[in-house]
Structure 1
Amino acid sequence: MENIKQIKTIKLNFILNLIRLFLGTAFVVIITPYITRILGPKNLGKVEYVNSIITYFILFTVLGIPSYGIREVAKYRDNKKKLTRILAELLLIILITTTIGYVVLFSFIYFNKNFFDIKDILLVMSINIICNNIGFEWFYQGIEDQIYITKRFILVRVLTLIALFLFVKNKDNYLIYAFILVMMQSGSNILNFINLKKYINFKDIKISKLRIIRRLKPIFIIFSATIATAIYLQLDSVMIGNVNREAVGIYIVPNKLIRMILVIITALGSVLLPRITNCLKNKDYKNYNVYMNNSLNYIFFMSIPLAVSTFLLADNIIYIMAGSQFKESILTMKILSPILFTIGIAYFLGFQLLYPLGLEKYYTYSVIVAAIVNFIFNYLMIPKYLQNGAAVGTVIAETIGPLITLYYSRKYLKKIKFFSRKRLKYFVATLIMGLVIIFIKKFEVNSIKIILYSFIFGGITYIGVLLLLKEEICMEGIKIIKKKVKNT
């Protein structure tokens, strides 16, 4: 009975996560064509360049606390006293690092001549640091309170969408757009902080009795991986911006779209992470293996067809999302498409396999090596190839990272049947789906129709082949549909 309850909770959390992903995707689909045309590559590039800088400050001030916090909260979510102590100690660390971060940022703004022309954007977007750091999003993920996260997410997305269309009317409104971007990313996190009183009680906590030193070692190990990963996400934009700021706008559109798709690929994993951690703590290895296999199947099921579809439909996607002025982004998107698969595998091995086992140092090693490789290729290729050079560097780095993680994970891979032949089914189905999309593209119709037809007929082909091959996820879906029909 308890197991059935757990499965229902996971399904609910996954559905709520999918709702957020759908709304987040819809938000990007709606605003990207609008904002790229209103601001243009130059002003959009300036805002995204500053956003990259602020993201670095957030990473350095929050350290590895979000990832560490999810694991620790998941372990002790049923112990209010321990939960309160964990939260208080992590909050104290955050307050100290955030203060240091603002001192450094304001020193940069007022004493570095390179930042004078973007000082106004930096000041506006610096709000993101404090709003993000006191958000405790990781706490709500750890206790699996997906309902609260979803409600807040919907409210913020609706309000920011309305504000965007009301107040961003021309290319000179880039400061307003920057502020709305801050509100979208973390403005609602004040609500998170206020809502904490429902779960914990700070009244009995004395600062003198807090022991933050013991938290620092695991936090810094995780932070090392986090900051190295950020190189993939932000250093590209910063290094391109140092050469050509307009090229940042050209790069950021396909990069954002790829990262948006990646969220869908890692959707189940983010829901299962607290549950996997809790299973290991309670030595529930039966459910642990079930969750791990389901998560890996899902990553293969989603990442392979999405990577191929993104490559084949890159031109149509860019023309719809950004317009012809961003046609240079097409090749960049094609180059980046393989990372949908490699990052999916890296996420599984790092955050779902090694991390809950307390072996985050091995994931950190792989990320640091990959980050160094990424920096070297960026340094060599960006001056000549700009956004496409950065894309090639990212793909190489995101391939090396998972290979290193595979080496460190080899001891545990047999237990979860990582190299099972049954996963070849996804490659076969994707190959046939790709041929269907290529055939559809031969017809001279507009981009919207090509994507729509590819989604419908390509999707039907993909699912149909997997059903013929009796793939687990599809067969389980058929069982659920039959059960629903039978009960109606």
Structure 2
Amino acid sequence: MRRNYMYTVLYQCTVMLVPLITVPYVSRVLLPEGIGVFAYTSSIAQYFSLIGMLGIGVYGNKIIAMSRDDKKEMSRNFFGIYCLQIFLSALSILGYLALVFLFIHSERQIAMIQTIALLGTLADCTWFFSGLELFGGIVLRNTLIKVVGLIAIFIFVKHAGDLALYTWIMCLSTFLGQLVMWFYVRKLIVRVHLSFRSVLKHIRPTLVYFLPEVALQIYFVLDKTMIGLLSTKSEVGIYDYSDKIQKMALSVVTSLGTVMLPRMTHTFASGQFNRAKHYIMKSLDFSTLLGIPITFGLAGIAKEFVPWYMGDSFMKCVTVLILISPTIFLMAWSGVFGSQYLVPLGKMKEYTLSLYAGAIVNFTVNLFLIRSFGSIGASIGTLAAELSVTLVQIYFIKNIIPFKKILPRTVIYLFAGAVMYLLVRAAGQYLGSSIITTVVQIGVGSCSYLMIIMVCEYFMKGGILLNELKKRMGWINEV
């Protein structure tokens, strides 16, 4: 299990890291306007990608996890789900092309190139490997393809007029990354007879998982679309790059949920409820331990990090990053409550309600704030949405999770994070903006956070943190 967690962290980091490596270069070449056009058209394409998958990502993961002990049944489920995916993806691509020709004019060229990313949805079988807990192939595939894309950007994208070329490279990386996984699929499945009914039976349950995906899309992607419609493309660029950095930091925490979903599904399906509850408590503690310092750390380094990393034209990202940094902690908790309890246990109604609460809050706040405040208004909307999701999920599981046991450790982590933030800010103010400053801030923050928890653990339990950390990392191998 530890290996799968590390693979998934590497996978999430690879997906986010390659674009982030290019940020200092691309931000100075394409500027906020170019980045904004790419992000705006990409956000529209993602709506159609959502339709093409129809909740298959989570549903397929769960069904494969439940049937993986019977290779023939697993293969039948795979082919049935994928045939449905092909049909839906083809319809979504046609719908997207119609939208582009009818309603998009000034950004039509870039929007047309985004069609290639939709072809990636057609070929996507990541859910199959996630259900089998085979994360090594996913990581290898993404690493190789993304690195090639990274090199291509530095070679071919030279000035602001190369936005179309940049879009080609990004979209082809997505498509080829999905396509290459099919070399692994044929080794894991067997030929089975597939009837029309075996495909149709998956439509209704995928719709159940599609509804929460719609809500997720609303407050993950709608921000960029609404900024593009209500503000300027430059504001979209500001928000998009801030969002990329936040998601990179977040991936370390949310990767645990990706790994735990198939295992929790299998554990619940086999009736091991006490064991599942044990996993949830350990996972929540581990996610909190990681989520809080990342939240405080991102807010702490933002002022010195943005100028040297993105350039002066992206200085507004400092405020945006500070505003959205608390979502890391909130999503660490909601990831445990949703992905590791509500979804594996089949409580989709509760899970969906929590996401729609966040979507409604996000849309409402965006509607009132984006026109006046642009990316900053969208950031406030995102924070309010994540808070809503977490609170609603806490309400649904309040009788399951003993929060009294979690609270003491959470208070310690919050105290350590707050002190860490002050030390990181002091280092930033003293050293100024540079890459050296960011490295020093991360080092100071990490060491101070661990030291403070160590001291608190010593006085509270008469022990030291080292053994506690070993236990918390070790529980992953129990799963």
Q: TM-score, normalised by structure 2?
A: 0.92
The residue aligned with 2:160 is 171
The residue aligned with 2:260 is 272
Q: Does the Cα contact within 8 Å between 1:350 and 1:360 map onto a contact in 2? A: no
Which string of whole-angstrom CA distances, capped at 9 and with x for unpartnered residues, describes residues 306-363 of structure 1?
A: 1112122212222132111111221111111111111221111111111101102111
| Cα displacement (A) at 1:24 | 4.5
User: Which of the numbers 210, 217, 231 marks the counterpart of 2:198?
Assistant: 210
User: Which of the numbers 279, 301, 306 marks the counterpart of 1:313?
Assistant: 301
Q: Does the Cα contact within 8 Å between 1:124 and 1:179 map onto a contact in 2? A: yes
Which string of whole-angstrom CA distances, capped at 9 and with x for unpartnered residues, describes residues 422-479 of structure 1?
A: 3322112112212221321231433322221111122111111222233998424457
Residue 475 in structure 1 maps to residue 475 in structure 2: no
Which stretch of structure 1 is more off in the superposition, 429-438 or 257-266? Answer: 429-438
| Cα displacement (A) at 1:408 | 1.2
The residue aligned with 1:385 is 373
Q: Does the Cα contact within 8 Å between 2:9 and 2:251 map onto a contact in 1? A: no
Q: Does the Cα contact within 8 Å between 1:463 and 1:474 map onto a contact in 2? A: no
The residue aligned with 2:133 is 144
| Cα displacement (A) at 1:15 | 2.2
Residue 346 in structure 1 maps to residue 338 in structure 2: no
Hey, what's the Cα distance between the residues in 2 that align with 1:480 and 1:232? 32
Matches within 5 A, 1:78-477: 78-112=69-103, 115-202=104-191, 204-212=192-200, 214-243=201-230, 244-414=232-402, 419-470=406-457, 474-477=466-469
The residue aligned with 1:5 is none
* Pair 215,22 (structure 1): closer, same or farther in 2 beyond 3 Å: closer
The residue aligned with 1:484 is none
Q: Does the Cα contact within 8 Å between 1:335 and 1:395 map onto a contact in 2? A: yes
The amino acid across from 2:48 in the alignment is F
Q: Does the Cα contact within 8 Å between 1:128 and 1:187 map onto a contact in 2? A: no
Residue 19 in structure 1 maps to residue 5 in structure 2: no
Q: Secondary structure at the match of 2:398?
A: helix
Q: Does the Cα contact within 8 Å between 2:285 and 2:406 map onto a contact in 1? A: no
Hey, what's the Cα distance between the residues in 2 that align with 1:23 and 1:375? 30
* Pair 474,73 (structure 1): closer, same or farther in 2 beyond 3 Å: farther
Q: Does the Cα contact within 8 Å between 2:337 and 2:394 map onto a contact in 1? A: yes
The residue aligned with 1:70 is 61
Q: CA RMSD in A?
A: 2.2
Q: How many residues matched?
A: 468
| Cα displacement (A) at 1:156 | 0.9
Hey, what's the Cα distance between the residues in 2 that align with 1:455 and 1:28? 21
* Pair 222,25 (structure 1): closer, same or farther in 2 beyond 3 Å: closer
Structure 1 gaps of 5+ residues are 1-9, 482-488
The amino acid across from 1:307 in the alignment is T
Q: TM-score, normalised by structure 1?
A: 0.91
Structure 2 gaps of 5+ residues are 459-463, 474-479
Hey, what's the Cα distance between the residues in 1 that align with 2:465 and 2:225? 41
Q: Secondary structure at the match of 1:242?
A: helix
Alignment identity in percent? 25
* Pair 222,417 (structure 1): closer, same or farther in 2 beyond 3 Å: farther
| Cα displacement (A) at 1:25 | 5.2
The residue aligned with 2:31 is 40
Q: Does the Cα contact within 8 Å between 1:222 and 1:361 map onto a contact in 2? A: no
The amino acid across from 2:255 in the alignment is A
The amino acid across from 1:180 in the alignment is I
| Cα displacement (A) at 1:192 | 1.8
Hey, what's the Cα distance between the residues in 2 that align with 1:479 and 1:218? 38
Hey, what's the Cα distance between the residues in 2 that align with 1:333 and 1:446? 16
The amino acid across from 1:391 in the alignment is S
Hey, what's the Cα distance between the residues in 1 that align with 2:127 and 2:44? 22
| Cα displacement (A) at 1:54 | 0.6
Hey, what's the Cα distance between the residues in 2 that align with 1:435 and 1:190? 47
* Pair 281,19 (structure 1): closer, same or farther in 2 beyond 3 Å: same
User: Which of the numbers 54, 77, 93 marks the counterpart of 2:45?
Assistant: 54
The amino acid across from 1:103 in the alignment is L
Q: Does the Cα contact within 8 Å between 1:27 and 1:157 map onto a contact in 2? A: yes
* Pair 223,480 (structure 1): closer, same or farther in 2 beyond 3 Å: closer
